[in-house]
Chain A
Amino acid sequence: MMLFVLAVALWAALFALNLWLARPGAPSWAGVAVPILFGVALLVLWEATVRGFNVPRILLPAPSSIVATIFSSLPILFADFMQTVVKGALTGYLMGCSAALGVAILVDQVSFLRRGLLPIGNFVAALPIIGLAPILVMWFGFDWQSKAAVVVVMVFFPMLVNTVEGLMDTDKMQRDLIRTYGSSYWQGLIKLRFPAALPFIFNGLKIASTLALIGAIVAEFFGSPIMGMGFRISTAVGQLNLELVWSEILVAALVGTGSYGLLSLVEKRLTFWHPSQRGSS
């Protein structure tokens, strides 16, 4: 009990410090410090609660034991990361997104495709992944290929819809201007419409990066070799090894945040000219 009271006291102290840091006119490093302090306070509270009240580790393991598990099972976590993130999610993401880009250019040229394919796209995008994953596992086998296939299906249409929309996001005057230069279709695409579509494309890429991770992990629930993050989560729960489950969740969260952050960084570089980016620099 004493532990818990101490933790609450520490949490309150950090909370006060954060309030002070977040005041108007705070130095710039406060922007980084506030979320870190907030996270530390939460971890301390978590640790103290679990220890102080003797919460069973099956319900909620202490952060310290999760960290211990992470360090003792680094090889497993790394193998799962390679299997699920690199082979499954990343392969599927690259294939799905580049295919969507290519098809978007095709759709852009053939109006019949725009009217025919996009409604089907919306339909496929609405299919529940839980239903689709077992079928794709049957088709492509237990290994990462089926996971990549699930990811392709999940990322393809959001990416396609965003890109097609982006390619149409030029005004008539800009298209007329390019026309007065006697430019070809491809010149117009490269010089005008593709750059104009970039904010939309990055929107699609960011949505797809989140979907890819979910898809690759969930697809493993329906059959996989004896590794992978989804496989580990489902079997570790069965073995009541909740520390390992939490470790995998942490890895997934880091990967998700990292890839989203990386994409945002590249986006900022390439679309610095867009009003939404101009304001924040």
Chain B
Amino acid sequence: MTNSTAISARDICLTFQTNDGPVHALKDVSLDIAPGEFVSFIGPSGCGKTTFLRVIADLEKPTSGSITVNGQDPETARKSRAYGYVFQHAGLFPWRSIAQNIKLPLEIMGYSKEEQEERSQAVLKLVDLEGFGGKFPWQLSGGMQQRASIARALSFDADILLMDEPFGALDEIVRDHLNEQLLALWRRTQKTIGFVTHSIPEAVYLSTKIVVMSPRPGRITDVIDSTLPAERPLEIRDTPEFIALSHRVRQGLRGGHDDLEL
């Protein structure tokens, strides 16, 4: 693929028709994401961050505007398995063991038995779950389940990883640990990551680019390029640079709300 953007959105609008009238989930959203970037979407509930991720994934159709994923329209991209999607909840199938869950996309995509085995072992290692392949989801903690679901999204080695508040339901200690692991994984695999969160420290810690969004109608209010180095120990969160970035994100979020009150 020779195109220089992984995801390119132009003037995306999306309106849901509800019983209480139309809801403008997205309005005039334009954004370019380069290959290998780690982009966080942050904003209060209803700002359209999840909806935008779902538009990229072809789980929602925009009302107007254009979007390309890997240079293709989202539907073609989805059908050519351009991305892995990690949902808010692990959503592992309880009738399948962890290894079988990870093989699920591979089975659907028609990989050979040997390759399924090989890849599931490799991604289990990647998320530090070696030896847990034979367990069933309900035998694992929430954090381990979410790691397994990340492994599932990684198993078919798509260039893009879309994550919708994957650590939202986990406690802070587990979350810190998983954030660290995710960064390491991103550096190793050089994937393009779209990451929805409503935690400012999480967004600043992880991203190369932070997209601040605000609600009613859902729109982008600020795009911040991170000045943090690629190598990020957890302690980086105490540096002045990190605090300054957090401050700017917080300003952006507040700005969105001020608009609302006018």
Chain B: CB-nearest residue to A192: B93
B136 within 8 A of A: yes
Q: How far is the CB of A175 from chain B (nearest CB, A)?
A: 10
Q: Are A183 and B108 in contact (CB under 8 A)?
A: yes
Set B59, B81, B84: member contacting A176, Cβ < 8 A: B59
Once A180-B59, A181-B105 are accepted as A-B contacts, the answer to whether A195 and B93 lie under 8 Å apart by CB is yes
Whether B138 and A173, one on each chain, are in contact in the complex, defined by CB atoms closer than 8 angstroms, is no
Encoded as 1 (CB less than 8 Å from any B CB) or 0, chain A from 135 to 179 comes to 000000000000000000000000000000000000101101111
Minimal Cβ-Cβ distance residue in A for B137: A273
Where chain A touches its partner, the secondary structure class is helix
Most chain B Cβ neighbours within 10 Å, of A177, A179, A183:
A177
Q: How far is the CB of B154 from chain A (nearest CB, A)?
A: 13
Chain B contacts of A195 at CB under 8 A? 93, 95
Chain A residues with a Cβ closer than 8 Å to the other chain, count: 21
Docked pose: A81 CA to B92 CA in angstroms: 46
Answer yes or no: A187 CB below 8 A from chain B CBs: yes
Alpha-carbon separation in the docked complex, A271 to B94 (Å): 9
Cα distance A177–B94 in the bound complex, in angstroms: 14
- A274 interface residue (CB < 8 Å to B): yes
Most buried by B among A174, A176, A179, A182: A182
State in angstroms the CA–CA spacing of A180 and B85 once bound together.
7
For the complex, is B102 an interface residue (Cβ under 8 Å from A)? no
In the complex, per-residue mask of A188-228: 1 if CB is within 8 Å of any chain B CB, else 0: 00011001101000000000000000000000000000000
* Inter-subunit contact A191/B104 (CB<8 Å): yes
Contacts of B225 in A (CB 8 A): none
Q: Given A173-B89, A177-B85, A182-B79, are A274 and B105 also a contact pair (CB < 8 Å)?
A: no
- Set B57, B95, B107: member contacting A273, Cβ < 8 A: B95
Question: Is B78 close to A, CB under 8 A?
Answer: yes
Any B CB within 8 A of the CB of A278: yes
- Contact yes or no, A174 B78, CB < 8 A: no
A236–B59 alpha-carbon span in the complex (Å):
67
Contact, CB under 8 Å: B78 / A182: yes
* Choice from A174, A181, A198 contacting B108 with Cβ under 8 Å: A181
**Which of chain B's residues have a CB closer than 8 A to the CB of A196?**
93
Q: What separation, in Å, do the CA atoms of A273 and B137 have in the docked complex?
A: 9
* CB-based contact B108/A178 at 8 Å: yes
Residue B186 at the chain A interface, CB threshold 8 Å: no
Q: State whether the Cβ of B80 lies closer than 8 Å to any Cβ in chain A.
A: yes
Alpha-carbon gap, A198 to B95, bound state (A):
10
How far is the CB of B139 from the nearest CB of chain A, in Å? 10
**In the docked arrangement, what's the CA distance between A21 and B87, Å?**
51
B91 at the interface (CB under 8 A from A): yes
B243 interfacial by beta-carbon distance below 8 Å: no
Contact call B59/A179, Cβ cutoff below 8 A: yes
Given contacts A179-B78, A180-B57, A182-B81, contact A173 B91 (CB under 8 A): yes
| Minimum C-beta distance from B174 to chain A (A) | 21
B165 → A minimal CB distance (Å): 12
Q: Is B205 located at the chain interface by the 8 A CB criterion?
A: no
A176 to B85, CA, bound (A): 9
Closest beta carbon of chain A to B70's beta carbon, Å: 14
- Point out the residues of chain A lying under 8 angstroms from B95, CB to CB: 195, 198, 271, 273
Name the residue among B78, B91, B94 with the largest chain A CB count within 10 angstroms: B94
B52: CB under 8 A from chain A?
no
Q: List 16 A-B contacts (CB under 8 A).
A: A173-B89, A174-B91, A176-B59, A176-B85, A177-B85, A177-B91, A180-B57, A180-B59, A180-B78, A181-B105, A182-B78, A187-B108, A196-B93, A273-B94, A273-B138, A278-B138
> Could you list 5 further interchain pairs (A-B, Cβ under 8 angstroms) beyond the known A182-B79, A191-B104?
A173-B88, A174-B93, A180-B83, A182-B108, A183-B108
